[in-house]
Amino acid sequence: MTVRTRFAPSPTGFLHIGGARTALFSWAYARKHAGQFILRIEDTDVARSTPEAVQAILDGMNWLGLSWDEGPFYQMQRMDRYREVIGQMLTEGKAYRCYCSREELDALREQQMASGLKPRYDGRWRPEPGKLLPEVPAGVEPVIRFRNPQAGVVEWNDLVKGSISIANSELDDLIIARADGTPTYNFCVVVDDWDMGITQVIRGDDHVNNTPRQINLLQALGATVPQYAHLSMILGDDGQKLSKRHGAVSVTQYHDDGYLPEAVLNYLARLGWSHGDDEIFDMAQFCQWFDLDHITPSAAQFNTEKLNWLNAHYIKLADLERLSADVAQRLSAQGVSVAAEPALPAVLALYRERANKLNELAASVAYFYRMPPIDEAAYAKHVTADVLPLLQSLSDALQQAEWTVEAIHAALDQVVKAAEVKFPKLAMPLRVLLTGSAQSPSIDAVMCLLGRETTLQRMHLPLAG
């Protein structure tokens, strides 16, 4: 049977890291088994769902490259189908109308609690052979309840958590349609999983409690019950479940903050899943390795340092043209336009070894394209009066030098030797003047990329003053 998995977010906010990891595992499972991955937007909470959130989810999935084979399907566009199934269940006696008012249910609950019982619906409108039902009250629209089996247990072999069973006596007759006729969450999910032929439901373990209800509904409908895999939650720094309403940031915020999607994916893949000691792998490898047997059932905590480490790794590996296109955009957002010279890929080749994030990388190379602000403390420390003659000699030597790293290096050497000073005595003030700060890669390489004209211009700042 072809594997069919799904990711089913509610568009009540952006796609966050917790949801994205769940989407990734569901996607990888489908890819590994040459199956299909379906995207379903669970938008029945009309008060909280927005088109902007749908777009944010699609943007997040696209940025990560979690491509879906079918969908997005929208639950709000499937209302006729849900009504059809509800009608069918009523006809077949698998569901019934319940006319209990809110006040009646509240009174029942209070009564049960007062006698130390667990509050639950008492089945007063559930038809049974020979049972007399109450008289239908005038002007009350009923809810529709599912006739949950009363005996036996619901049991499933969770692909992550192992065998789970719940006694049916613990489960109420679930409301599947509200008094206004709108179907409820668990019911829509069941009809969708059934119609969409989902074979493995891979979702967060915040849904474990829904599963026995959904299995009973599927069985009542005569549907094949899929396998279930409930993934542990991803917790934020404070140990609480990441959610749209608590502590999570959007996946696309990681792009804005300078992360590469492959770093985020690799990081997410290792969050709660392992393949021996392997830490670094691409998605093709992950899809080959991925299985549900090596998922940690306990919750996983987000660790920014590890993500940064992976990001630095992928920045070093990334194609330079691709990196340049990204960094050029980041620079342009800061009002720095990348000129033809020096060529950005060459600049990035010099700098990318040092960067954890792309926006740091952009900030660190901006000085190639505009006069940098000068770190005043570094200037005071390194650009001292005794350095000025060295700068003058270097400037003279550079007027004539061939403009290669080797020739520039030779000119620097010649000046420090002639003045009998150590190399940093000249290199540090040069760094400050040329780059704005006392940290830079090898100064001769920086000068070579900056070009003769800009190098001499910036070196002349203290000489002119």
Ligand X SMILES: Nc1ncnc2c1ncn2[C@@H]1O[C@H](COP(=O)(O)OP(=O)(O)OP(=O)(O)O)[C@@H](O)[C@H]1O
244 is annotated as an active-site residue: yes
Tokens of 200: 């493995």
Q: Does residue 441 contact residue 354 with C-beta atoms inside 8 Å?
A: yes
Q: At which residue do the structure tokens 């890929």 appear?
A: 345
Question: Of 71, 204, 372, 424, which lies in the binding site for ligand X, with binding defined by CB under 6 A?
Answer: 204
Helical H segments across 2-100, by residue range: 17-32, 51-64, 79-91
Question: Of 6, 9, 177, 360, which lies in the binding site for ligand X, with binding defined by CB under 6 A?
Answer: 9
Amino acid (one-letter) located at 71: G
DSSP SS3 for 115: coil
Residue 70 CB neighbour total at 10 angstroms: 14
Query: Which of 131, 244, 306, 417 is flagged as catalytic?
Result: 244
Residue 6: phi and psi, rounded to 5, are: -145, 155
The nearest distance, CB 20 to ligand X, in angstroms, is 8
Interface size with ligand X, residues (CB under 6 A):
20
Quote the CA–CA distance of 328 and 293 in Å, as a whole number: 43
Q: Does residue 202 contact residue 55 with C-beta atoms inside 8 Å?
A: no
Q: Does 60 bind ligand X (CB under 6 A)?
A: no
Q: Among the candidate windows 4-12, 60-68, 338-346, 407-415, which touches ligand X by CB under 6 A?
A: 4-12
Q: Does residue 154 contact residue 179 with C-beta atoms inside 8 Å?
A: no
- The smaller minimum CB distance to ligand X, of residues 243 and 311, is found at 243
Q: Does residue 211 contact residue 156 with C-beta atoms inside 8 Å?
A: yes
Q: Does 49 bind ligand X (CB under 6 A)?
A: no
Q: Does 270 bind ligand X (CB under 6 A)?
A: no
Q: Does 71 bind ligand X (CB under 6 A)?
A: no
Question: Of 4, 6, 10, 160, which lies in the binding site for ligand X, with binding defined by CB under 6 A?
Answer: 10
| Spatial CA neighbour of 274 closest among 257, 261, 291 | 291
Q: How many residues does the chain have?
A: 465
Please report, for residues 81, 107, 394, 398, 412, the alpha-carbon distance to residue 401 in angstroms, rounded to integers and kept in the order given: 79, 94, 10, 5, 11
The nearest distance, CB 233 to ligand X, in angstroms, is 4
Q: Does 69 bind ligand X (CB under 6 A)?
A: no
Q: Among the candidate windows 103-111, 158-166, 239-247, 450-458, which touches ligand X by CB under 6 A?
A: 239-247
Tokens of 364: 């660190």
Q: Does residue 37 contact residue 7 with C-beta atoms inside 8 Å?
A: yes
The nearest distance, CB 47 to ligand X, in angstroms, is 12
Q: Is 244 annotated as a binding residue?
A: yes
Question: Of 97, 207, 354, 409, which lies in the binding site for ligand X, with binding defined by CB under 6 A?
Answer: 207
The nearest distance, CB 9 to ligand X, in angstroms, is 3
Q: Binding mask 219-238 vs ligand X (x if CB under 6 A, - otherwise)?
A: ------------x-xx----
Q: Does 206 bind ligand X (CB under 6 A)?
A: yes
Q: At which residue do the structure tokens 């006392």 appear?
A: 438
Q: Does 75 bind ligand X (CB under 6 A)?
A: no
Q: At which residue do the structure tokens 């804005």 appear?
A: 256
The nearest distance, CB 241 to ligand X, in angstroms, is 5
Q: Does 203 bind ligand X (CB under 6 A)?
A: yes
Q: Does 247 bind ligand X (CB under 6 A)?
A: no
Residue 318: phi and psi, rounded to 5, are: -65, 150
The catalytic residue positions are: 244
| Binding site residues, ligand X, CB under 6 A | 9-10, 12, 16, 18-19, 21-22, 203-204, 206-207, 231, 233-234, 241-245
Q: List residues forming the annotated binding site.
A: 244
Q: List residues forming the annotated binding site for ATP.
A: 244
